């Protein structure tokens, strides 16, 4: 067993828990390198921007070496047991194959297909109802009678589009990622009939679905634009 210095742990109960941690650590294996989350106390005025960093230099203890290839990683002594506990939890979930390895570009197939059918304007933004009416009016009165804006814009492969569906005081945003995978043939969803419920300012954390994408397809460079 590796001896560790307990600087701020006078309670002997922690010693027994530490022994238990080490004992169970010997039997668990980490096929994938877990990220080392070391939370240092940071006196900044905005607590939501908490950068993960190594702990205080005066009270650091060494984590086990099975994860760090370039030597021991020192963390805050207060967080040592918590980090080991979280490692075991993640290892257990990994063993049960309950963690999703790859993040999907979208969460719901029907919403993805609906987004593919929506009309897009210049720059790939979705057109709102007003803009669509203006666009239709322009195409009816214009000389370009042979071009179809829907078919033209659907052929474009865009990595990420973040736009507002309505500018009339609606702060909801719709985030989706168009992938290179061919769209499933079948339901042609008309976006006028099936309107998605977008998340407003007051977010329902309980059961509101969110679109999130992680992979970049076809080598296309990601273009992220934030519309306030």
The reply to whether 32 sits near other proteins by the rule CB under 8 A is no
Supply φ then ψ for residue 167, to 5 degrees: -100, 5
The reply to whether 224 sits near other proteins by the rule CB under 8 A is yes
The residues pairing with 74 across neighbouring beta strands, listed in sequence order, are 62
Question: Is there a contact between 36 and 54 (Cβ–Cβ < 8 Å)?
Answer: no
Nearer to other proteins, 126 or 132 (CB): 126
The reply to whether 57 sits near other proteins by the rule CB under 8 A is no
β pairing state of 173-176 and 60-62: unpaired
Smallest distance from other proteins to CB 124, Å: 15
Binding mask 168-187 for other proteins (x = CB under 8 A): -----x-x------------
The reply to whether 76 sits near other proteins by the rule CB under 8 A is yes
The reply to whether 101 sits near other proteins by the rule CB under 8 A is yes
The reply to whether 56 sits near other proteins by the rule CB under 8 A is yes
Select from 48-56, 65-73, 142-150, 186-194 the region that touches other proteins (CB under 8 A): 48-56
Question: Is there a contact between 66 and 34 (Cβ–Cβ < 8 Å)?
Answer: no
Cα–Cα separations (whole angstroms), residue 69 to 64, 65, 72, 205, 219: 11, 7, 8, 38, 31
Footprint of other proteins (CB under 8 A): 35, 37, 39-43, 46-50, 52, 55-56, 76, 78-79, 82-83, 85-86, 89, 93, 96-104, 107-110, 160, 173, 175, 199, 203, 205, 208-215, 222, 224-226, 228
């Amino acid at each position: 067993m590796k001896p560790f210095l307990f600087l701020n742990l006078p309670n002997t109960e922690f010693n027994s828990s530490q022994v238990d941690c080490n004992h169970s650590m010997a039997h668990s294996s980490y096929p994938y390198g877990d990220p080392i989350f070391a939370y240092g106390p940071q006196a900044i005025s905005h607590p939501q921007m908490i950068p993960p960093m190594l702990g205080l230099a005066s009270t650091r203890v060494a984590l086990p070496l099975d994860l760090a290839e370039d030597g021991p990683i020192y963390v805050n002594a207060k967080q040592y047991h918590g980090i080991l506990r979280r490692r075991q939890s993640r290892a257990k979930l990994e063993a049960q194959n309950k963690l999703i390895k790859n993040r999907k570009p979208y969460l719901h197939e029907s919403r993805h297909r609906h987004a593919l059918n929506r009309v897009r304007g210049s720059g790939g933004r979705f057109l709102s109802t007003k803009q669509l009416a203006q666009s239709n009016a322009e195409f009816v009165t214009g000389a370009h009678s042979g071009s179809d804006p829907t078919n033209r814009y659907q052929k474009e492969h865009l990595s990420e589009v973040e736009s507002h569906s309505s500018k009339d005081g609606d702060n909801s945003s719709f985030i989706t990622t168009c992938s290179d995978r061919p769209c499933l043939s079948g339901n042609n969803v008309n976006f006028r009939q099936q309107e998605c419920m977008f998340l407003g300012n007051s977010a329902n954390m309980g059961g509101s679905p969110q679109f999130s994408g992680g992979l970049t397809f076809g080598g296309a460079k990601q273009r992220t634009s934030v519309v306030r």
